[in-house]
Amino acid sequence: MLKGFFNVPTPVNEPINSYAPGTKERSLLKEAIADARAKQLDIPMFIGGQEVHTKNKKKVVAPHDHQHVLATFSYGDKSHVKQAIDAALGAKADWEALAWEHRAAIFMKAADLFATKYRYQINAATMLGQSKNAYQAEIDAACELVDFLRFNVSYMQDIYGQQPPVSPNGMWNRTEQRPLEGFIFALTPFNFTAIAGNLPACVAMMGNVVVWKPADTQVYAANVIMQVFREAGLPDGVINLIFADGPEVGDVVFNHADFAGIHFTGSTKVFQEIWKTIGTNIHKYKSYPRIVGETGGKDFILVHPSADVAASVTAIVRGAFEYQGQKCSAASRTYIPKSLWPEIKKLMIRDLASFKMGGTEDFSNFINAVIDERSFDKLAKYIDQAKKDKGVEVIAGGNYDKSKGYFIEPTVLVVDDPKYTTMCEELFGPVLSVYVYQDQEFDQILEIIDTTSPYALTGAILSQDRYAIEKASYALRNSAGNFYINDKCTGAVVGQQPFGGARGSGTNDKAGAMINLLRWVSPRTIKETFNPPTDYRYPFLAED
């Protein structure tokens, strides 16, 4: 076998297409959308290289047109989970023995396929199945997914290159990074196609084998991801894609002796239950499982009296309402000084009045549907309660309609109480709560922001006063794992702003950074002595 020290291509962020009228990309994406809408897929599970179909079928519908069935998918049971684990463990020996540059090549090829051949297909699948507009799909399903794959390969090379700095005369010290002993369970959410692809891929990249269960509402794009991985040359059994009931899957996965870790993005409540189950079963495992999770957020934007009004309004409306507020990082609470509130309010209402809402196929729609009926009903309930409560004013939106799609108007609530329900609880939808504070109470507002919710994912300050920026940055140091100055609190880019939060928002293992990949390896330190001693006696034992 040929040997060498290999350098992977230096990663750069994937350029973002604008999809402006008249561009070739706009035409190609519309063609991909029309093609996808014109047929109904039958999506299988992928276990050990086999396409597995079951009689139990579930539907994939477009959230903005819920009578339109995009696909059916085969729903599995505990037996399929067991098959997936067996397939993963069966593939483990060959996969972890494969030279790292060949693992790297598979995922670099997948990145190129997503960036070119499958760009419009993965974007169209995300637009239809998850109701993202063209721009939101582009920055997610194409660009961020490609970035994850390319940057993670570079991080993998860096990890393998980290070696002990000292080897004294007569010995050689070195470190190898082993994959974990067992299989990894990847549990992925509906809201980002890039996350759905990255959580199993970065784990597999480091030589691990994976059982992957995406959210039911993300199956449509997950199917494309799996097809691309297979076309890129991913060996059978390395990543096994299953669709099944969460508790049934967990009952098999978390009781298996070879369970070695979980890579999770989803709700805080589910993550805490998983952690509790793992703790209860800790005596059953061969090793202590790695638990990596990014969960909820109650993300904030703080406007200082010195802030630029136009910049503040743009940060707020984009941060709160892009992708219908269904980003983990979306702004859902904002604090605005009384001196700026009249102008900010006027401009916010102006901007919201200009929003068009509807299906993703019409590129002029800025707002699309929330993901499903359960989400719709939850949000409608919060809005209805806010309309009844004293001390709450609905200054924009407040209407909803699910007759054709799960549409919730972008809604702004102005509250008298900074601890009102919608200021504290995660809603995960296009509902923004505003608290107007007295300008001289800036210091008190910092404390309120820090203590309002159990989360600590993202936050932002808008200010032109550097002393205020420094004060807020320090006071809110534990309130957000991703903190933004004079920008919205969303839009983290791989290689630029590694993403993750602490407190109730997760383990802060920073997707898009080397930190995350280090969780999926187990180092072995090797010391080799060239001239070993042959007598146990040390010099100090000699007689005077």
Q: Single out the residue of 67, 68, 75 nearest to residue 42, CA to CA.
A: 75
Rounded CA gap, 14 and 62, in Å?
27
Helix count and strand count (H, E) for the chain: 17, 23
Burial degree of 390 (CB within 10 A; 0-12, 13-18, 19+):
exposed
Question: What is d(CA 487, CA 496) in angstroms, rounded to the nearest whole number?
Answer: 15
CB distance 146 to 111 below 8 Å: yes
Q: Are 523 and 180 in contact (CB under 8 A)?
A: no
Query: How many residues would you count in the chain?
Result: 544
CA distances for 197 relative to 115, 208, 212, angstroms:
14, 15, 10
Q: Which of the following is catalytic: 294, 322, 361, 409?
A: 294
- What does the block give as tokens for 71? 């696909």
**Whether residue 489 lies in the annotated active site:** no
Given 202, 328, 361, 409, the catalytic residue: 328
Check if 202 is active-site. no
CB of 482 closer than 8 Å to CB of 492? yes
CA-based angle 362:111:133, to the nearest 5? Answer: 15
- What is the distance between the alpha carbons of residues 343 and 314, in angstroms, rounded to a whole number? 13
Report the alpha-carbon distance of residue 316 to residue 466 in Å, rounded. 20
Which amino acid belongs to residue 141? A
The whole-angstrom separation of Cα 498 and Cα 502 is 13
Instruction: Provide the annotated active-site residues.
Output: 294, 328
